[in-house]
Amino acid sequence: MNAAIRAAVRRGWELGLETLGIRRGYAGLIEGDLSPLTPRDVGGIIEFGGTFLHTARCPAFLTDEGRRRALATIEKEGLDCLIIIGGEGSLQGARWLSDQGIKVVGIPASIDNDIEGTELAIGVDSAVNTVVWALNRIRDTALAHERVFLVEVMGRESGYIALMGGLAGGAELVLVPEVPVPLDEVAQKVLSLYQKGKHHSIVVVAEGVTAKVGSTDMIANFLRERTRLEVRVTVLGHLQRGGSPTATDRILASRFGAQAAEDIKAGLFGHMLAWQKGEIVRVPLEVVRRKKMAIDLRLYELVHQLAI
């Protein structure tokens, strides 16, 4: 997000636009927590994860009172338009604001890559690379000690991080919420790999799977009982959300931010910028929602085809 903010501010400045930063997203909009941003204010932030403006969940923005106060801030501060960077929830808020006549440009940011209309969102590549980094190190231990490792990654409703991280990290199995797999089948697959001569396995588990079959620790206990193998659990947690962004993320975010400023200058509003077929396109906010299927099932099959 920092790269997108930096690009929007600097490209906007070049185009003669004045930019204010809103701290903590919709919470800051409700509370009027804004301050001017100049090109110097966004210097040195491109290499940091997260957002220097901070972010916060804002239940108040779902209430009539909260929304009334947000609109009052927009009027009081004389804001001509808003650039809203975030996931499906933030972009739904952008759609509501647009419906109220507020000029809005949205930018997708979600490590789950589950926003309809864009092939890639800010944060996805960095999160997947963090998972691969972790799997590389876990595999060293798995190989040395001939163990099965269950690695839980983020993804309550989307298995994108698990799938892409597992494919790039050479995982033997990937469990995602989109494809239910009985634990008996998981145990059999792990055991069959050992019977083929493998002496270790890495199973990547999206956190959304645990809501359907139980905790990762429970899955590990089941595998221990059925396979009689040594099983360990690693939960990556919020490690995936931080760290220095990858070059791909910085470039994508910079392009989104600069394009948002250019759209504002051109008087183009009411859309989310999206990445499709190697180009930035505009997607109407009214069609932006969470993807029903964020993973490519062909890649899901490929992960398991390669685990022999």
Enumerate the active-site residues: 112
Is the CB of residue 8 less than 8 Å from the CB of residue 261? Answer: yes
Is the CB of residue 17 less than 8 Å from the CB of residue 103? Answer: no
C-alpha distances in Å from residue 83, one per residue of 25, 140, 223, 275, 288:
11, 44, 48, 17, 15
Any bridge partners for residue 274, and if so which?
Answer: 281
